[in-house]
A and B are shown apart, each in its own frame.
Chain A
């Protein structure tokens, strides 16, 4: 009996409670549900606030975690410099003199970070959290082209700028390009053009190449670009082999190389995958082999300091391309390396460099536009020429939002002078030589008008 009594009281309580909730909460919230998007004309407009929030979305776990950690260091450094801390890094060397160390448009720069886990789903979740909850007005990051493309698509829908950091796939500013997405980093197509003359000089024009390719957009486009560039030299290409990202043990894919008749192995891998596959390939004695009367060689089209460090001795003598290197002698590179090294005790990687530069470029674009309103910021970035950020004269092309600048051809150093002296710049492909017609990749940018955070 007492049981049923309790049920009744409980129900009464709930009924009253529900009425209360409905009356006070849900109804006004439903009616005004667009209010969080602000009645201003774009998403997360910081005009009414004293600070502006940037969202940094990096892989802190997964196959590209090393690069992600370095990106995070660079973002934090960039925010420090924008707010007037430290020695200002590349702000004094930057050709545009709008940045004064007083934040962006006088607002202090705050930031939030997230872990993409090198997965598109997790990255979108994380980016949505930054935009919807933390009010980020710009998202940066990447380290996987799959992730970058997924987040770039989201940012286009949300009307928030995406300043891609490390993404090397042709698709990012090719068939999947977006009005709200900008890339400072170079791409696989440029890598192919840049590295081909060096390969021809070092390895000759009569080679058979075997590709091991990371099975996603970046791997495919790099494989294609390398195939086109090397076949133009006269090389032959065997059927490429696709490997899953994060495979760890690549031995079962390497053993068939031994008897394939190929005399060059091209590793379209990045991050820890590249470290593993390169080390394992060297363990298999590939570099001591003679095939077709020639020395067997390995090429890694995209390398970074972090990977060279991970691969250690296996990296010696191996050719690749880089967006930037800390040992460059121009004033911008030196200033950046100095302030990064002083803060973290190690030189910055190319991932750190591009992240830092993208943050500065965004801040500068807002300053020059005089507003955070995305269409104006976008217009001030499109077809923008600048210098002093470590890559020499650079152009942000308006038709695909790709940066054009010199591309470095690097080689693993045989006898490093210090633990960080891992790569040597052996050649530079000029900005003009790596410029291409945007039409070859198709895609369309989409509208300028922001979506108002729907």
Chain B
């Protein structure tokens, strides 16, 4: 029981991350009809917004102390963080909370980046074949990750969890289990809540606002909406920006769980595509359902009991599920027919 609860939590936690990435990917596909292989790169760029904020906050002045020596005998360098010089104690609090702070930076940056990407590049590919969309965005993903590599180097850069959210929560006790039986890191719980919140917000936005209604109408029948005199293109551009923001903030919040490196986007790309295709291209609920499904399945497949029954299953389960679903339900869990089949 304890084991199952822990594994379920882990699955939900992973699934939240998968669902968030897949949601943005599906938004872009559903509105613009573009397969965006650079979506993983947007997630990575979001993560590096967090890195940037932290770098800015931890900028230091270096003075040489001629009196003291470093352990290997050269004059000692004394480093003083600028944030502490300027803001006093607030500086160290800001440094501690650099990850949540980074969201403030990530939202405008990702919005602008998304809009620029759509207007500058993707726009010209609406009429081109899907294969070419895949290829050009794949190229873009390579370029983006290499630019990040040129600035931040190839190594992962760890980001701290804010002090108040460190450690593990006794989840078992909440469910009436023995104290200490099931503990789970607080930040992972925060991430789960965060992803559920974002998912709910996006759905509410599409469901309950006029803007969302128009966008949904446009997704269903772009031409008619255009004939009605609505500038659907502009709204779709904004949707692309929104998808970029979703990917970006997901990346920001993910950094304390996994130190980001330039390759983070590519690592998530394959996975997020599997999620989207399993959910059904263009279906938002499908993407979310598939995200959580695959997260949970992957987590359970890693249990020792299951691994001893089926060796290696944890390595392939996601792909196995993808193959089975695509063969049994050709358009994924909740996909429409005729989408992306040629």
A interface residues with partner B (beta carbon < 8 Å): 60-61, 65-66, 69, 238-239, 241, 244, 248-249, 251-253, 255-256, 258-260, 272, 275-276, 279-280, 283-285, 288-290, 310, 312, 326-327, 337-338, 340-342, 345, 347, 418, 420-421
Q: A272–B156 contact, CB under 8 A?
A: yes
Tell whether B108 is near chain A: CB-to-CB under 8 Å: no
Question: Nearest chain B CB to A60's CB is how many angstroms away?
Answer: 7
A392 to B307, CA, bound (A): 45
A290 to B170, CA, bound (A): 13
Known: A241-B304, A256-B303. A66 touches B72 (CB 8 A): no
A417 to B313, CA, bound (A): 46
Q: B72–A341 contact, CB under 8 A?
A: yes
Question: Nearest chain B CB to A294's CB is how many angstroms away?
Answer: 13
A347 to B161, CA, bound (A): 28
A251 neighbours in B (Cβ, 8 Å): 10, 13-14, 188, 257
Of A272, A280, A327, A341, the residue contacting B74 (CB under 8 A) is A341
B72 neighbours in A (Cβ, 8 Å): 326, 337-338, 340-342, 347
B181 neighbours in A (Cβ, 8 Å): 258-259
Can you identify 21 A-B contacts, CB atoms within 8 angstroms? A239-B308, A244-B315, A248-B258, A249-B257, A251-B188, A252-B7, A252-B10, A252-B11, A255-B7, A256-B7, A258-B3, A258-B183, A283-B167, A283-B168, A284-B183, A284-B184, A285-B168, A288-B168, A337-B71, A418-B70, A421-B71
A238 to B303, CA, bound (A): 13
Tell whether B298 is near chain A: CB-to-CB under 8 Å: yes
Question: Beta-carbon contacts of B1-22 to A below 8 Å, as 1s and 0s?
Answer: 0110011011101100000000
Question: Nearest chain A CB to B167's CB is how many angstroms away?
Answer: 6
A285 neighbours in B (Cβ, 8 Å): 167-168, 183, 185
A29 to B308, CA, bound (A): 57
Chain B residue nearest to A420 in the complex (CB): B71
Q: A252–B314 contact, CB under 8 A?
A: yes
Q: B161–A283 contact, CB under 8 A?
A: yes
Q: A290–B180 contact, CB under 8 A?
A: yes
Question: Nearest chain A CB to B71's CB is how many angstroms away?
Answer: 6
Q: B304–A258 contact, CB under 8 A?
A: no
Question: Beta-carbon contacts of B171-186 to A below 8 Å, as 1s and 0s?
Answer: 0000000001111110
Q: B2–A65 contact, CB under 8 A?
A: no
A284 neighbours in B (Cβ, 8 Å): 168, 183-185
Q: A252–B299 contact, CB under 8 A?
A: yes
A260 to B307, CA, bound (A): 14
Of B9, B14, B71, the residue contacting A341 (CB under 8 A) is B71
Known: A249-B14, A272-B156, A338-B73. A283 touches B298 (CB 8 A): no
A276 to B3, CA, bound (A): 22
Question: Nearest chain B CB to A47's CB is how many angstroms away?
Answer: 39
Tell whether B197 is near chain A: CB-to-CB under 8 Å: no
B11 neighbours in A (Cβ, 8 Å): 252
Tell whether B139 is near chain A: CB-to-CB under 8 Å: no
Is the interface on chain B under 10, 10 to 19, 20 to 34, or 35 or more residues? 35 or more
Which B64-79 residues have C-beta < 8 A from chain A? 70-74, 77
A66 to B167, CA, bound (A): 27
A260 to B11, CA, bound (A): 18
Q: B2–A252 contact, CB under 8 A?
A: no
**Given A251-B14, A260-B304, 8 further pairs, Cβ under 8 A:** A241-B304, A249-B14, A251-B257, A255-B299, A259-B6, A284-B168, A310-B259, A326-B72
Chain A residue nearest to B72 in the complex (CB): A341
A279 to B302, CA, bound (A): 19
Q: B71–A258 contact, CB under 8 A?
A: no
Tell whether B226 is near chain A: CB-to-CB under 8 Å: no
B304 neighbours in A (Cβ, 8 Å): 238-239, 241, 256, 260
B9 neighbours in A (Cβ, 8 Å): 255
A241 to B299, CA, bound (A): 14
Most chain B beta-carbon neighbours within 10 Å: one of A260, A284, A341? A284
A340 to B315, CA, bound (A): 42
Q: Which 4 A-B pairs have the closest CB atoms?
A: A285-B168, A341-B72, A252-B302, A283-B185
Question: Nearest chain B CB to A116's CB is how many angstroms away?
Answer: 13
Known: A283-B168, A285-B183. A341 touches B70 (CB 8 A): yes
Question: Nearest chain B CB to A122's CB is how many angstroms away?
Answer: 14
A248 to B303, CA, bound (A): 17
A284 to B180, CA, bound (A): 11
B6 neighbours in A (Cβ, 8 Å): 255-256, 258-259
Question: Beta-carbon contacts of B241-279 to A below 8 Å, as 1s and 0s?
Answer: 000000000000000011100000001000000000000
A86 to B226, CA, bound (A): 73
Question: Beta-carbon contacts of B317-331 to A below 8 Å, as 1s and 0s?
Answer: 000000000000000
Known: A248-B267, A252-B10, A421-B71. A289 touches B183 (CB 8 A): yes
Known: A284-B168, A310-B158. A253 touches B302 (CB 8 A): yes
A280 to B185, CA, bound (A): 9
Chain A residue nearest to B300 in the complex (CB): A252
Q: A283–B154 contact, CB under 8 A?
A: no
A244 to B302, CA, bound (A): 12
B183 neighbours in A (Cβ, 8 Å): 258, 284-285, 289
A258 neighbours in B (Cβ, 8 Å): 2-3, 6, 181-183
Of B71, B73, B155, B314, the residue contacting A65 (CB under 8 A) is B155
Tell whether B43 is near chain A: CB-to-CB under 8 Å: no
Q: A256–B154 contact, CB under 8 A?
A: no
